[in-house]
A and B are shown apart, each in its own frame.
Chain A
Amino acid sequence: MIKLGVPSKGRLMEKTFDWFAAHGIRLSRTGSDREYAGAVTGIDGVSLVLLSAGEIPRELAAGRIHLGVTGTDLVQDKLPLWEQQVEPLEEMGFGEADLIVAVPQAWVDVDTLDDLDAAAAAFRATHGHRLRIATKYHRLVREFLRDAGVADYAIVDSQGATEGTVANETAEAIADITSSGETLRANHLKVLSDGLILRSQATLWRSRVADVADEDRAAMAEVLARLG
C-alpha cells in the first residue's frame, strides 16, 4: 500500500480532504470522531495515515509514509538537509503562513534586524542576560539570526501561545507563524521590516527514502497522474 500521511484534525485536515477530493481522491475519517482511522476511496492501493502535522516531516524522513501533507515551515525546521529527504510535489494553496520575528510595538527604536542586534547588546548589558526570543522553530530562527549577524540573544522554547510570552515577561521578542497578523497586533507586537524568515503553505511531499514495493508502483504512478 502507498501510505499517505495527513493532518489528523482541524481546518488543515478538512482543507486537505477537499483538495484531494478535487483530484478525484476521497479521504475520510472512519469510526467515531475520536478514532484516528481513515479510508481512501476513488483510487486503489492507497491508505490514509492520520498524524499530527508536526510529526509528518519525521515520518516522511524515516520512510514510514510515502506521501504526506504538512507546512514548509515544519519540514525546513525539523529536517536538516530536507531536500535530500523529501521532495515537494504540489503546493496546495491553503495553510499560508509567514514565519516572522516580532517585537513589542512600543519599541519605536527597533524596526530592522540591525536595530534588534543593537537593542540586544544594550539589553544584555542592562539586565545581565541575553535578550530572549520565544519560538518553536529553533533551527530556522537560529540560522536566520546568524546570517543576519544578530548576537546577544537566546532562544526560549515556546510550543504555544507564543504571542503572550512578552507580556508574561518570559521573552522579549518572538518568532512565530502568522497569517493575518491580527494575533500579533492584539498582543501589541509588530513584525520587523526585514524579519520574514520563511513563507509557508500546506504542501504535498514525497519521501525520497520510503521504499515503493513493486506491487505498489502502479498505485504511486496513478496518484501522481491524478495530481499532475
Chain B
Amino acid sequence: MITREGRAKALALRDRFEAAGAQVVEPPMLQSAELLLDLYGEDIRARAYVTSDALRGEQMLRPDFTVPVVQMHMAHGADPARYTYAGEVFRRQEDDPDRANEFLQVGFEVFDRADPAAADAEVFALMAEAVAGLNLRAATGDIGILTAAVNGLRTTEARRAALLRHIWRPRRFRALLDRFAGRTPVPASRKALLANPQPRLGSAPLIGLRTDDEIEARISALHADAAAKPISDGEMDLLDTLLNVRETVPFALSHLRDLTVDMPSISDAVEGLAARSDALVARGVDVDTLDFEASYGRTSMEYYDGFVFGFYAAGRADLPAVVSGGRYDALTRRLGGGAEIPAVGAVLRPGLMAELEAGA
C-alpha cells in the first residue's frame, strides 16, 4: 500500500537527486507491451499488468522506469544527461500475496560517456547516502567480468553465444556448460540424429513457418558441436573459481587479478573493477567493508551488463531490495536504433524506507 509518508519521502528523494544534478522527468504509466515483450520475453507477462485498447493495442502498466527513460533519452536527450523520477510501478503477483503489486520507486539515471567508473561510483554513492542510517547491507557484482570470461573460453563461437544468452539463467547456464565440457551424456535422441546419415528421410510433411533450411542448418550445427572438443577441466575450474568469488572488494580484486594470469580475457573487466573501486573511494565509500560477489545480479532482469548492486535490510530476508541498480549499456543499444551510450542507474523504494524507519 502506498502511504502518505511514502509519497512524501519519494518526493523528498527526487528533490535530493535533482539537487545532485538530475533533470526531473515524468515517464508515462502505460508502456507499449510489444516493446517490453520484445525486450524481456514471455516472463514479463507474469510480472506486468496488461491492458489494451483498439487503437494502441496491448499496453502494460509500467513495471519499471528504466525502459521509458532510456527511450526518452535516446529520442531527444542531451549528452551527457542525468535524470530523476518518482512514481508508481506495478507488478503482477501470482505466487506471493504478501508482495506489493503497486509501489513507489525513485530513480537516478546517468547517461555519460566520459568516465564509466566515475559514473558507477556517483550512482552508488548517491544511493548509499540516501539510505544511510537504515543499517542496510550492500551487495555488488559485475556481469561484465562474467561475460568476458565466457568470451575468453577456448571453444566454438556457437557455444560461447549459447552461454552468453543464458548468463541470466544460472541453472540453464550450468547445464549448458556441463554439456559443453562433456560432463553430461548426450541425449539418446541427439545421438540417433547424429548417427543417421539421412535424418529427414521419411519424416512427416513440414508444416509451419520454420523452413527446411533452418532444420538443415541446426543439424549441421549439431554435427559441428559434436565434433568440437569439450571445454577443458582447467577452464571449467577457473570459471567455477571465478563464479565463487565472494569477499570484500579489495580481497576480491586481488583474487581476480590472480585469476587473470590464467584467464587473460577478464583483465580489462577486472581493471574496470579496480577503477570503480578507486572511484568509490574518491566518493567516500568504504570499499574495505563492501561485499563483491561475482555471481550477484544474475537472476535479475536481463538488462544489466556491467556493475550491479543492491541494498538489503539486514535480518529481513522477507523484504525485497531497498535499492537496486546497475549498468545497462546494452539496453541503450537495443533501444537506440543504431546509437548507444554508456548508462548506469538505480532505483530505491521509499515505501520500504518509511516502513524500516518506522520499525527502527
User: In A89-117, which residues have CB < 8 Å from any B CB?
Assistant: 104-112, 114-115, 117
Residues of A within 8 Å of B189, CB to CB, are: 111-112, 193
Given contacts A80-B94, A149-B166, A151-B166, contact A108 B199 (CB under 8 A): yes
Task: Pick the interface stretch among B128-136, B213-221, B262-270.
Answer: B213-221
A153 proximal to B (CB < 8 A):
yes
Q: List 12 A-B contacts (CB under 8 A).
A: A104-B206, A105-B204, A106-B207, A122-B214, A123-B210, A126-B214, A142-B46, A149-B171, A149-B175, A153-B41, A188-B204, A188-B205
A50 proximal to B (CB < 8 A):
no
A119 and B97 CA atoms in complex are apart in Å by 36
B214 pairs with A167, CB closer than 8 A: no
A139 proximal to B (CB < 8 A):
yes
Given contacts A123-B210, A172-B209, contact A104 B204 (CB under 8 A): yes
A122 and B172 CA atoms in complex are apart in Å by 17
Residues of A within 8 Å of B162, CB to CB, are: 118, 121
B210 pairs with A104, CB closer than 8 A: yes
Which of B95, B193, B208, B215 is A172 in contact with, Cβ under 8 Å? Answer: B208
B37 proximal to A (CB < 8 A):
yes
Residues of A within 8 Å of B205, CB to CB, are: 106, 188
Residues of B within 8 Å of A146, CB to CB, are: 43, 46
Shortest beta-carbon distance from A56 to chain B in Å: 20
User: In A122-165, which residues have CB < 8 Å from any B CB?
Assistant: 122-123, 126-127, 130-131, 138-139, 142-143, 145-146, 148-149, 151-155
A81 proximal to B (CB < 8 A):
yes
Shortest beta-carbon distance from B315 to chain A in Å: 26
User: In B210-242, which residues have CB < 8 Å from any A CB?
Assistant: 210, 214-215, 217-219, 222
B214 pairs with A108, CB closer than 8 A: no
Residues of B within 8 Å of A130, CB to CB, are: 41-42
A166 pairs with B207, CB closer than 8 A: yes
Shortest beta-carbon distance from A28 to chain B in Å: 39
A104 pairs with B207, CB closer than 8 A: yes
A146 and B13 CA atoms in complex are apart in Å by 36
A44 and B103 CA atoms in complex are apart in Å by 50
B206 pairs with A106, CB closer than 8 A: yes
B204 pairs with A109, CB closer than 8 A: no
B190 proximal to A (CB < 8 A):
yes
Given contacts A81-B97, A105-B203, A151-B166, contact A119 B218 (CB under 8 A): yes
A215 proximal to B (CB < 8 A):
no
Excluding A119-B218, A142-B45, A153-B42, 19 further A-B contacts by CB distance (< 8 Å) are A80-B95, A104-B208, A106-B200, A107-B215, A109-B215, A109-B219, A112-B189, A114-B175, A115-B190, A121-B165, A130-B41, A130-B42, A138-B45, A139-B94, A145-B42, A146-B46, A151-B41, A155-B42, A167-B207
A59 and B79 CA atoms in complex are apart in Å by 56
Chain B residue with the shortest CB-CB distance to A166 = B208
Seen from chain A, the residues whose Cβ lies within 8 Å of a Cβ on chain B are 80-81, 104-112, 114-115, 117-119, 121-123, 126-127, 130-131, 138-139, 142-143, 145-146, 148-149, 151-155, 166-167, 169, 171-172, 187-188, 193
Residues of B within 8 Å of A118, CB to CB, are: 162, 218
Given contacts A119-B210, A139-B94, A152-B41, contact A111 B203 (CB under 8 A): no
B183 proximal to A (CB < 8 A):
no
B137 proximal to A (CB < 8 A):
no
User: In B161-178, which residues have CB < 8 Å from any A CB?
Assistant: 162, 165-166, 169, 171-172, 175
A108 and B198 CA atoms in complex are apart in Å by 10
A125 and B206 CA atoms in complex are apart in Å by 20
Chain B residue with the shortest CB-CB distance to A172 = B208
**Binary contact track B317-328/A, C-beta < 8 Å → 1, others 0:** 000000000000
A122 and B214 CA atoms in complex are apart in Å by 8
A154 and B58 CA atoms in complex are apart in Å by 14
Which of A104, A122, A143 is B217 in contact with, Cβ under 8 Å? Answer: A122
B187 proximal to A (CB < 8 A):
yes
Residues of A within 8 Å of B209, CB to CB, are: 127, 169, 172
Which 5 A/B pairs are nearest by Cβ-Cβ distance? A149-B172, A105-B204, A111-B189, A106-B206, A166-B208
A171 and B193 CA atoms in complex are apart in Å by 25
Shortest beta-carbon distance from A205 to chain B in Å: 20
Residues of A within 8 Å of B199, CB to CB, are: 108-109
**Binary contact track B184-200/A, C-beta < 8 Å → 1, others 0:** 00010110010000011
A167 pairs with B208, CB closer than 8 A: yes
A81 and B93 CA atoms in complex are apart in Å by 11
Residues of A within 8 Å of B219, CB to CB, are: 108-109
A117 and B175 CA atoms in complex are apart in Å by 13
Residues of B within 8 Å of A154, CB to CB, are: 37, 41-42
Given contacts A111-B190, A112-B189, A145-B42, contact A106 B37 (CB under 8 A): no
Shortest beta-carbon distance from B331 to chain A in Å: 17
